[in-house]
């Protein structure tokens, strides 16, 4: 007995299944075109979000018979809009876009909203809205900008929520999903042990006597995958390869070698390929192209290592610690948008995946599940809880530029942004560079806005949300920490060079040491330090601190860190030769991704 999650391409579609499993009920992902015969044993349907609009001719096709099957249905975001439109309601573009935190006023504490308070914090990511309900539907809850944020038809047990209960930042989200599981009458007997058993059987079948050459970064994902494969196949059939790609943190490769050796991993091979990786991205500015070239270089380096070790490539499959977040952000499901191409999802690896030559034991899991699995397998706590670090490393934290700013459509947005910031007693400037964001389940590549002046964290959070909701030209907001007054900066030409990477390595090391010194490593899930080519003299650059808190990395809140930490790290960074300004990213996810590229 299970719940079927119909995947309309939403960034959170698989996260819904993750959350249902967290409630110990089994959930499986299905196509929206699934037949009723294929749903035998299913007790309920959840319709995911997605990047499409229900009035778009190219919307994902679905099986209309699903709405007449008599099963409880929960529609989320796009799924909410789809069920309302299909059953006779109306959907139209919203007057106000909502990305991030919102307050749900609960009109009726019934059905999936049973036992919720009169007001709850929820997480939004939408541009369209339901403007008229189908016959038989009632409103359960609303927000200031969405009159029909929660609706239901009690007779047919059909529920629609404009917000996302599956993300950790909807405070009572798990209670909402638990209410739906209870309505469906699902058994509650799914465990991580079941997942381990299923994966062991699948990996043994896939490898069929062959061996696995696993790319090991030293982060939690690859370390858990390494331990898991060693347990399932034995150390003689697994070899770990750690590649120093030149984009690593200060002394990272030496640290990884020591940590894994101390944890009992003897089958690890380390190669230095920094020169080759730097050559692969020489002169490249566009972030997607950087990611593609780095992903391809990982495979070239693997092939070189196989040859040097005199290993038969036909005998060794590629292993990766891929999580589901990598897959979905790379557009890895039928209707999903590409947010950013992860290095483990470039074309060459997609080809190997299609041929069954890639082993990914964690590909259905999220970060929180990978950590739970690592603890269960006995991986040391300090390895399980290391801050994540992207495969392309500092290459996607050092923004590049040809020095030419793209200002199309920004002038009018600047005037409106200034009017919004003035209400908070702050100044704002839209910056002449762009970063990646995720809004309405789609990719954005838009401008950050820089704000400065006296303000506390709650005011900055409110301003950040208002700017990104009101202005599509802005998908990220940063706050000036120093110096005051701010220098008059312009965009400068900058590429990936050892000199820039060494500057970023130094800044990142100072930031990580400061987190440790202030006892904030557990409070902050991750804190990328980003180098941006903004300069007053064409030589110096600026850095951005991006501290976030999250469980699953599908959504995240910016971390409001103590003034003592903020003041100290700002002074330290401004003392580094080559850094002239320090910014603090005050953007949630959505609308901004965790990494800038």
Confidence of residue 98 (pLDDT cuts 50, 70, 90): low
| pLDDT score recorded for residue 195 | 83
**C-alpha–C-alpha distance, residues 12 and 199, integer Å:** 23
pLDDT digit string, tens, across residues 539-570: 999 999 999 998 777 788 999 999 999 999 99
Enumerate the CATH 3.40.50.880 domain ranges in the chain, comma separated.
2-184
Please tell me the predicted confidence (pLDDT) of residue 327. Answer: 53
What is the average pLDDT across 126-155? 92
pLDDT at res. 204: 95
For residue 331, name the pLDDT band (cuts at 50, 70, 90): very low
**Chain mean pLDDT for the chain:** 89
Two tokens, residue 197: 């058993």
Q: Which of 120, 166, 178, 429 is catalytic?
A: 166
Q: What is the pLDDT of residue 329?
A: 47
- Answer yes or no: are the C-beta atoms of 474 and 430 closer than 8 Å: yes
Measured between alpha carbons, how far apart are the two ends of the chain, in Å? 41
Q: How far apart are CA 364 and CA 331, in angstroms?
A: 15
What residues form DSSP beta bridges with 270?
242
Q: Which of 14, 80, 164, 242 is catalytic?
A: 164
Residue 452 pairs in a beta bridge with 427
Q: What percent of the chain has pLDDT over 90?
A: 63
Inter-CA distances, 236 with 20, 213, 231, Å: 37, 11, 11
* Dihedral of alpha carbons 344, 348, 351, 357, sign: negative
Q: How confident is the model at residue 338 (pLDDT cuts 50, 70, 90)?
A: very low
What is the distance between the alpha carbons of residues 408 and 411, in angstroms, rounded to a whole number?
8
pLDDT digits (tens, 9 = 90+) for 170-227: 999 999 999 999 999 998 988 888 888 888 999 999 999 899 999 888 888 888 999 9
| 387 tagged catalytic | no
**Cα 413 to Cα 407, 409, 446, 447, distances in angstroms:** 10, 7, 12, 11
More confident residue, 395 or 383: 395
Residue 347 confidence (pLDDT): 67
Domain 192-391 has CATH 3.40.50.620: yes
pLDDT tens string 239-294: 999 999 999 999 989 988 888 888 888 899 999 999 999 999 999 999 889 988 99
The CA distance from 37 to 35, in Å, is 5
Alpha-carbon span 456 to 426, nearest angstrom:
11
State both tokens at 560.
């409001």
Q: Where in the chain is the domain with CATH 3.30.300.10?
A: 401-585
Q: CA-to-CA distance for 354 and 580, rounded, in angstroms?
A: 48
Q: Where are the beta strands (DSSP E) in 321-361?
A: 358-359
* 186 flagged as catalytic: no
Range(s) within the chain of domains with CATH label 3.40.50.620: 192-391
d(CA 20, CA 15): 9
Closest by alpha carbon to 597, among 396, 407, 342? 396
Q: How confident is the model at residue 126 (pLDDT cuts 50, 70, 90)?
A: low
Least Cα distance to 159 among 183, 143, 175, 124 occurs for 183
Bridge-based pairing of strands 493-494 and 401-402 is antiparallel
Asked if residue 438 lies in contact with residue 413, where contact means CB atoms within 8 angstroms, the answer is no
pLDDT of 346 strictly over 80 = no
Rounded distance between C-alpha atoms, residue 402 and residue 492, angstroms: 7
pLDDT for residue 32 is more than 70: yes
Q: Of 398, 390, 397, which is closest to residue 500 (Cα–Cα)?
A: 398
Q: Which fold has domain 2-184?
A: Rossmann fold (3.40.50)
- Res 64 pLDDT > 90: yes
Do the beta carbons of residue 328 and residue 366 sit within 8 Å?
no
Residue 384 has pLDDT above 60, yes or no: yes
Interval 446-504: pLDDT, tens = 999 999 999 999 999 999 999 998 999 999 999 999 999 999 999 999 999 999 999 99
CATH match of 401-585 with 1.25.40.10: no
**In this structure, are residues 416 and 368 in contact, taking their beta carbons and an 8 Å threshold?**
no
Catalytic residue among 30, 77, 146, 400: 77
Query: Is residue 77 among the annotated active site residues?
Result: yes
Can you spell out the DSSP letters for 459-501? HHHHHHHHHHHH-TTEEEEEEEEE-SSPP--EE-EE---HHHH
């Amino acid at each position: 007995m299970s719940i079927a999650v119909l995947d309309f391409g939403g960034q959170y579609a698989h996260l819904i299944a993750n959350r249902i499993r967290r409630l110990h009920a089994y959930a499986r992902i299905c196509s929206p075109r699934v037949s009723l015969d294929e749903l035998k044993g299913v007790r309920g349907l959840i319709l995911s979000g997605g990047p499409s609009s229900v009035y778009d001719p190219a919307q994902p096709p679905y099986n209309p018979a699903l709405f007449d099957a008599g099963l409880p249905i929960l529609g989320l975001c796009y799924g909410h809009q789809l069920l309302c439109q299909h059953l006779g309601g109306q959907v139209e573009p919203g007057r106000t876009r909502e990305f991030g935190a919102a307050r749900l006023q609960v009109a009726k504490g019934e059905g999936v909203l049973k036992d919720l308070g009169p007001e709850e914090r929820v997480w939004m990511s939408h541009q369209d809205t339901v403007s008229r309900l189908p016959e038989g539907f009632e409103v359960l809850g609303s927000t200031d900008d969405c009159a029909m944020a929660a609706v239901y038809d009690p007779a047919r047990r059909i529920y629609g929520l404009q917000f996302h209960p599956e993300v950790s930042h909807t405070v009572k989200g798990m209670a909402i999903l638990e209410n739906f599981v209870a309505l469906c009458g699902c058994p509650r007997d799914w465990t991580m042990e079941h997942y381990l058993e299923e994966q062991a059987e699948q990996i043994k079948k896939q490898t069929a006597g062959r061996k696995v050459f696993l790319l090991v970064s030293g982060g939690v994902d690859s370390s858990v995958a390494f331990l898991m494969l060693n347990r399932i196949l034995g150390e003689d059939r697994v070899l770990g390869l750690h590649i120093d790609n030149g984009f690593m943190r200060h002394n990272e490769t030496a640290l990884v070698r020591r940590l894994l050796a101390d944890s009992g991993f003897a089958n690890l091979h380390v190669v230095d390929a920094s020169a080759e990786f730097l050559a692969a991205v020489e002169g490249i500015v566009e972030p997607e192209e950087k990611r593609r070239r780095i992903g391809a270089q990982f495979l070239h380096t693997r092939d070189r290592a196989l040859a040097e070790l005199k290993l038969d490539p036909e005998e060794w499959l590629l292993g990766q610690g891929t999580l589901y977040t990598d897959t979905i952000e790379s557009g890895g499901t039928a209707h999903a948008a590409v947010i950013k191409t992860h290095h483990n999802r470039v074309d060459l690896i997609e080809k190997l995946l299609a041929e069954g030559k890639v082993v990914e034991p964690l590909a259905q899991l999220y970060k929180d599940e990978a950590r739970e699995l690592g603890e269960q397998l006995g991986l040391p706590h300090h390895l399980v809880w290391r801050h994540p670090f992207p495969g392309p490393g500092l290459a996607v934290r050092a923004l590049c530029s040809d020095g030419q700013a793209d200002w199309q459509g920004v002038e009018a947005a600047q005037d409106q942004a200034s009017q919004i910031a003035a209400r908070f007693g702050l100044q704002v400037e839209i910056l002449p560079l762009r970063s990646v964001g995720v809004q309405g389940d789609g990719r954005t590549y838009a401008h950050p806005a820089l704000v400065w002046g006296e303000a506390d964290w709650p005011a900055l959070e409110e301003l950040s949300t208002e700017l990104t909701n009101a202005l599509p030209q802005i998908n990220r907001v940063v706050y000036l920490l120093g110096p005051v007054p701010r220098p008059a900066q312009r965009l400068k030409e900058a590429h990936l060079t050892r000199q820039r990477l060494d500057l970023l390595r130094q800044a990142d090391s100072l930031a990580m040491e400061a987190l440790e010194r202030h006892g904030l490593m557990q409070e902050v899930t991750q804190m990328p330090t980003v180098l941006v080519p903004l300069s007053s003299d064409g030589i110096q650059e600026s850095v951005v601190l991006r501290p976030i808190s999250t469980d699953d990395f599908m959504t995240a809140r910016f971390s409001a860190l103590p003034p003592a930490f903020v003041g100290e790290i700002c002074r330290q960074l401004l003392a580094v030769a080559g850094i002239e300004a320090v910014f603090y990213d005050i953007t949630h996810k959505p609308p901004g991704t965790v990494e800038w590229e």
